């Protein structure tokens, strides 16, 4: 019923979490606004919220924002798909089959403590500063958390399900495909979610270094011309996009693990 | 006993356990723990056999070896006279823990075994319909296990084991985690399944009432290392129902089993005064 639905929306937005959350954000903006308006502050360096909104409108109007956002999204999606699929395949094999583990574990564990950004100089020297090097950096950044989580998930498969499948006549391969993989899905999702955010982080870093487009390029470029308002617009869009990607990953994950009775985060 | 008689017995038993010994090695430096020692058992076709013994005496270990999930240190398990060297679908297993796959619906759980063995789709569909009906879960075929109660999940587990055309069902304390009421319902369900299929059941439990209510034969194990202490044949009439549980014969049979179990634990039992010899036969193994 519409009236019921209306009420439930009101109830949802009257929760303490929402009210306090909005107030908390408003306070941060308020403090910033106050600082921006203080006499002696250079409005070019510390633009007021209305000035930032105007910059946002301008960036939308010229189409720059869209072009840069699309460029970044494309890189992160390509990098994520390559990095995540490699990581899931290798992590699942390493975590399940003993000899695959012997081969892959040393490599995974050696890569583990190295931040993906540390590869940037090497990638630039080897691959140059074109589009491939930016994608490679994202792939590396996505790969690490995904592979570690995938392997952990396969190590944690409950023996009881494996035994049950075996007594029902499942082959080794069928146990892998129908027991180990599905029961590790919650771990895969956790890895993918971390991968989305680390990939996004690496994206901005990669774009800060000589990119012709992208949100990283946009904020770097604006910074060089003291267009602080545009930089702030870029930062906000990066934040929103990151949150959006995380939501997509988390919703996809929830759909895939609807069978699980593990408590979900609110 | 001559060799010929011996081989004839091996063929007549559905499941035979011969000189089964099992040692786990654990710790560093590895020390060997003998869990089971020289177990001999013969289980006839269609029999309902319960195995009881105190916690840690090796009941699960014994059942896992019967299923081919675990290889014995010594001795062998014979199924229809052939040595069990690994799992086989004829030996169905129901675990104590919740072993229903939570990522599959009820009907997919039930179809899992047949699908593993390459049973064609139409036949699989028939098996699923039949076994879901047999355990009273037809209305829940599309449900996920998390939507079911503990007792219903155990029903899925039973249906899944029976749908895979086993000829022996090995059940390891399957109802230990259930409340009293649900447990009684499940015991009725398991007897129904046993009666309608005529398939051999080996049922591990540490619950005396359960053993008395279900069994044709109770194998009493002693502890550390586990040995066959006694084999007690039930004289309770069938069919068994709620009436059986409150009858005098039940109380007497339970008393006998309790006494035997106390002896298996190495505890002295004061003879009950003026008690008649119980109407059950107890043979020391
Ligand atoms: N995988 C194992 N490794 C080492 N010891 C084990 C293992 N499984 C069981 N045990 C030991 O073997 C004994 C018998 O275990 P189990 O067969 O589970 O007994 P029950 O089912 O009768 O309670 C116990 O003392 C237990 O600690
Ligand atoms: Mg046990």
Indicate whether B96 belongs to any domain.
no
User: Three-state SS string across chain B, please?
Assistant: CCHHHHHHHHHHEEEEEEEEEEEEEECCCCEEEEEEEEEEEEEECCCEEEEECCCCCCHHHHHHHHHCCCCCCEEEEEECCEECCCCCCCEEEECCCCCCCCCCCHHHHHHHHHHHCCCCHHHHHHHHHHHHHHCCCHHHCCCCHHHCCHHHHHHHHHHHHHHCCCCEEEEECCCCCCCHHHHHHHHHHHHHHHHHHCCEEEEECCCHHHHHHHCCEEEEEECCCEEEEEEEECCCCCCCCHHHHHCHHHHHHHHHHHHHHHHHCCCCCCCCCCCCCCCCEEEEC
Q: Which domain CATH number covers A216?
A: 1.10.3720.10
Res B66: pLDDT: 93
Euclidean distance between CA atoms B264 and A105, whole angstroms:
49
B24 Cβ below 6 A of ligand 1: yes
Indicate whether B149 belongs to any domain.
no
Q: Out of A125-134, A146-155, B58-67, B275-284, which region has the weakest mean confidence (pLDDT)?
A: B275-284
For residues A70 and A183, membership in a common domain is answered with yes
- What percentage of chain B carries pLDDT values higher than 70? 89
Residue B269 — pLDDT band, cuts 50, 70, 90?
A: low
Indicate whether B111 belongs to any domain.
no
Nearest ligand to the CA atom of B53: 1
For residues A37 and A104, membership in a common domain is answered with no
Residue whose token pair is 């619906």: B105
Q: Out of A64-73, B21-30, B111-120, B143-152, which region has the weakest mean confidence (pLDDT)?
A: B21-30
Residues with CB under 5 A from ligand 2 (ion): B 60
Q: Which of residues 203-242 of B touch A (CB under 8 A)?
A: none
Indicate whether B82 belongs to any domain.
yes
Question: Roughly how many angstroms between the first and final C-alpha of chain A, as a whole number?
Answer: 25
Res B270: pLDDT: 60
Res A5: pLDDT: 55
Ligand 1 closest atom vs CA B62: 17
> Are B93 and A163 inside 8 Å of each other by CB?
yes
Point out which residues pair with B51 in neighbouring strands.
B204, B219
For residues A121 and A15, membership in a common domain is answered with no
For residues A120 and A16, membership in a common domain is answered with no
For residues A201 and A85, membership in a common domain is answered with yes
Indicate whether A149 belongs to any domain.
yes
What is the span of the domain harbouring residue B230? Answer: 3-90+166-284
Number of domains in chain B: 1
> Are A179 and B101 inside 8 Å of each other by CB?
yes
Number of domains in chain A: 2
> Residue B10 above 60 pLDDT?
no
Indicate whether A51 belongs to any domain.
yes
B258 touches chain A (CB under 8 A): no
Tell me the per-residue pLDDT of B226-261, one tens digit each, with 9 for 90 and over: 888 888 888 888 888 888 888 888 888 888 888 888
Indicate whether A264 belongs to any domain.
no
Q: What is the dihedral of CA A196, A202, A203, A205, to 10 degrees?
A: 150
A165 touches chain B (CB under 8 A): yes
Indicate whether A12 belongs to any domain.
yes
Across chain B, what does the average pLDDT equal?
85
For residues A153 and A231, membership in a common domain is answered with yes
- Chain A residues in contact with B98 by the CB 8 A cut-off are 160
Q: Which residues in chain A land under pLDDT 70? A: 1-8, 261-266
For residues A1 and A89, membership in a common domain is answered with no
Res B276: pLDDT: 46
Span from the CA of B151 to the centroid of ligand 1 (angstroms) = 26
A186 touches chain B (CB under 8 A): no
For residues A5 and A134, membership in a common domain is answered with no
What is the span of the domain harbouring residue A27? Answer: 1-41
Residue B211 — pLDDT band, cuts 50, 70, 90?
A: very high
Indicate whether A156 belongs to any domain.
yes
For residues A99 and A203, membership in a common domain is answered with yes
Indicate whether A266 belongs to any domain.
no
B228 Cβ below 6 A of ligand 1: no
CB neighbour class for B184 (10 Å; exposed up to 12, middle 13-18, buried from 19): middle
B222 Cβ below 6 A of ligand 1: no
- Chain A residues in contact with B69 by the CB 8 A cut-off are 163, 166-167
Res B283: pLDDT: 52
């Amino acid at each position: 019923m519409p009236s019921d639905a209306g009420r439930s929306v009101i109830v949802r937005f009257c929760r303490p979490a929402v009210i306090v959350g909005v107030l908390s954000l408003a306070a941060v903006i308020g403090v910033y606004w106050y600082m921006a308006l203080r006499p002696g502050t250079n409005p070019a360096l510390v633009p007021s919220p209305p000035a930032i909104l105007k910059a946002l409108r301008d960036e939308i109007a010229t189409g720059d924002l869209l072009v840069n956002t699309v460029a970044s999204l494309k890189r992160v999606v390509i990098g994520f798909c390559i990095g995540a699929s490699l990581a899931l395949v290798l992590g699942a094999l390493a975590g399940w089959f003993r000899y695959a583990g012997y081969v892959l574990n040393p490599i995974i564990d050696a890569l583990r403590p190295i931040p993906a950004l540390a590869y940037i100089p090497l990638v630039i020297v080897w691959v140059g500063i074109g589009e491939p090097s930016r994608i490679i950096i994202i792939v590396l950044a996505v790969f690490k958390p995904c592979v570690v989580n995938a392997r952990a998930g396969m190590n944690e498969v409950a023996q009881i399900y494996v035994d049950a499948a075996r007594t029902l006549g499942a082959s080794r391969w069928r146990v892998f495909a129908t027991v180990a993989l599905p029961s590790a899905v919650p771990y895969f999702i956790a890895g993918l979610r971390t991968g989305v955010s680390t990939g996004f982080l690496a994206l901005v870093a990669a774009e800060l270094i000589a990119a012709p487009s992208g949100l990283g390029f946009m904020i770097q470029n604006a910074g060089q011309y003291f267009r602080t308002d545009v930089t702030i617009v870029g930062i906000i869009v990066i934040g929103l996009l990151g949150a959006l990607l995380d939501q997509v990953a988390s919703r996809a994950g929830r759909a895939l693990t609807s069978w699980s009775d593990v408590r979900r985060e609110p | 006993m001559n060799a010929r008689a011996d081989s004839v017995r091996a063929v007549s038993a559905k499941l035979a356990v011969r000189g089964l010994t099992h040692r786990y090695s654990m710790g560093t430096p590895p020390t060997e723990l003998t869990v089971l020692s020289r177990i001999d058992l013969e289980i006839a076709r269609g029999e309902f056999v319960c195995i009881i013994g105190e916690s840690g005496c090796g009941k699960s270990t014994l059942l896992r070896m019967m299923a081919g999930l675990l290889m014995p240190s010594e001795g062998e398990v014979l199924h229809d006279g052939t040595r069990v060297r690994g799992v086989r679908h004829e030996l169905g297993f129901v675990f104590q823990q919740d072993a229903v796959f939570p990522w599959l619906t009820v009907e997919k759980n039930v179809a899992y075994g047949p699908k593993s063995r390459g049973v064609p789709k139409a036949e699989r569909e028939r098996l699923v319909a039949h076994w879901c009906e047999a355990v009273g879960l037809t209305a829940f075929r599309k449900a996920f296990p998390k939507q079911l109660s503990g007792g219903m999940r155990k029903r899925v587990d039973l249906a899944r084991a029976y749908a895979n055309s086993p000829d022996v069902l090995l059940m390891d304390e399957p109802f230990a985690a259930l409340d009293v009421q649900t447990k009684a319902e499940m015991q009725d369900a398991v007897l129904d399944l046993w009666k309608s299929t005529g398939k051999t059941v080996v049922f591990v439990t540490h619950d005396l009432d359960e053993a008395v209510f279900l069994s044709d034969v109770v194998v009493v194990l002693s502890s550390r290392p586990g040995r066959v202490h006694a084999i007690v044949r039930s004289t309770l009439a069938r069919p068994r129902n709620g009436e059986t549980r409150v009858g005098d014969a039940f109380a007497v049979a339970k008393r006998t089993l309790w006494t035997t179990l106390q002896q298996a634990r190495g505890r002295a039992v004061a003879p009950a005064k003026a008690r008649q010899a119980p109407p059950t036969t107890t043979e020391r193994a």
